[in-house]
């Protein structure tokens, strides 16, 4: 918190229902898009870019629909994400709740006795085909085509 332009704090997974939560506050920095363009042009730390051009973007870019968390206490986890982190309930059912934020961020929390943490990422892709489940870098990813 000593830097007036950038302050950040983290909630440890044991204090945030199995998930690392980063809180950040920025002042005097360019917007996210401008910052990404600057890093792309000049590279990290302002040095000339050293990586190759990325491949062309896919015609059907995937979209992260939501991150699904599991928690032994649905009310406590929902309270953290609504009360402390400003989420709003957008859907709910028996043993689960979905929360959203302005700009489209979404999480779902599922009640799982004795378990806590990220269960899966749910990704939508354009097109037809079967729903797929993958494991990428140890994380379960559920890919759903949306025609």
pLDDT tens digits, 19-56: 888 888 877 766 666 666 666 666 555 555 566 777 77
Return the bridge partners of 144, or none: 124
Stretch among 32-46, 56-70, 108-122, 128-142 having the lowest mean pLDDT:
32-46
pLDDT score, position 14: 83
Residue among 120, 19, 111 at smallest CA distance from 73: 111
The C-alpha atoms of residue 14 and residue 116 are separated, in whole angstroms, by 9
58-94 per-position pLDDT tens digit: 776 788 999 999 999 999 999 999 988 899 999 999 9
Asked whether the beta carbons of 144 and 125 are under 8 A apart, the reply is: yes
Residue 31 CA, chain-centre distance (Å), reads: 19
Q: Tokens 């709740």 belong to which residue?
A: 97
In 43-100, alpha helices (H):
74-79
């Amino acid at each position: 918190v000593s830097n007036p332009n950038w302050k950040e704090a983290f909630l440890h997974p044991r204090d945030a229902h199995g998930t690392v939560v980063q809180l950040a506050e920025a002042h005097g920095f360019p917007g996210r898009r401008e910052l990404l363009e600057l890093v792309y042009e000049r590279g990290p730390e302002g040095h000339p870019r050293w990586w190759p051009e990325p491949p062309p973007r896919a015609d059907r870019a995937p979209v992260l629909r939501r991150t699904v968390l599991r928690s032994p206490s649905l009310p406590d986890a929902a309270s953290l994400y609504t009360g402390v982190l400003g989420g709003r309930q957008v859907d709910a059912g028996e043993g689960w709740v979905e929360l959203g934020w302005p700009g489209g961020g979404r999480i779902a929390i599922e009640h799982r006795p004795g378990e806590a943490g990220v269960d899966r990422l749910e990704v939508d892709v354009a097109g037809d085909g079967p729903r797929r489940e993958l494991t990428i870098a140890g994380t379960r990813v559920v890919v759903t085509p949306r025609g």
